[in-house]
Amino acid sequence: MKTPPFHFAFPVHDIAAAREFYGGILGCPEGRSSEHWVDFNLYGHQIVAHLSDTAGPAKAATKVDSDRVPVPHFGIILEMSEWKALAEKVRDAGVEFVIEPKVRFKGEIGEQATMFFTDPSGNALEFKAFADPSLIFAS
């Protein structure tokens, strides 16, 4: 069965900045929009940036491996080659990483490449890739 696309709505303080970040830097095609929200296609999933005065950086963090991971966060699990290309694209765009691209849980079940960065409104994103995608849900 094909995985159904998910829908995720999140607050932003500036629609133009969201368009530049999600459409320009991340390359997400834009869907429907109004002056208060805009749909983006994030690897086949619908994410919606909603203009809100409550937009702001994640205030919580939790320890994962040796990093302080921002919570909440969202993102996509990519193929390793796509992950590497995105890391280079984001770095070339001058986006500051919260957690630099790296491999965590090296040699363990769940070994994964990961990177964290924020959008202009402070929403945290994580993109990851598994050398062996069959281990995504392994325990």
Q: CATH no. for residue 105?
A: 3.10.180.10
Same domain, 65 and 92: yes
- Is the residue at 41 inside a domain? yes
In a domain? residue 93: yes
Query: In the chain, which residue ranges form alpha helices assigned H by DSSP?
Result: 15-18, 80-92
Question: Are residues 94 and 39 both part of a single domain?
Answer: no
Q: How far apart are CA 107 and CA 135, in angstroms?
A: 12
SS3 81: helix
* Per-residue pLDDT tens digits for 52-64: 988 777 778 888 8
pLDDT tens digits, one per residue of 11-21: 999 999 999 99
Residue 25 has pLDDT above 80, yes or no: yes
With contact defined as beta carbons under 8 Å apart, do 49 and 38 qualify?
yes
Residue 131 in this model has a pLDDT that exceeds 90: no
**Same domain? 35 vs 88:** no
Q: Which domain holds residue 115?
A: 60-135
In a shared domain, residues 66 and 123: yes
Does some domain include residue 116?
yes
Residues 14 and 37 in one domain: yes
pTM for the model stands at 0.91
Q: Are 27 and 73 in the same domain?
A: no
Query: How many structural domains comprise the chain?
Result: 2
Residue 101 shares a structural domain with residue 45? no
Q: Determine the average pLDDT of the residues in 130-134.
A: 89
Are both 21 and 40 inside the same structural domain?
yes
pLDDT in tens, 52-99: 988 777 778 888 888 889 899 999 999 999 999 999 999 999 999 999
114 and 74 inside one domain: yes
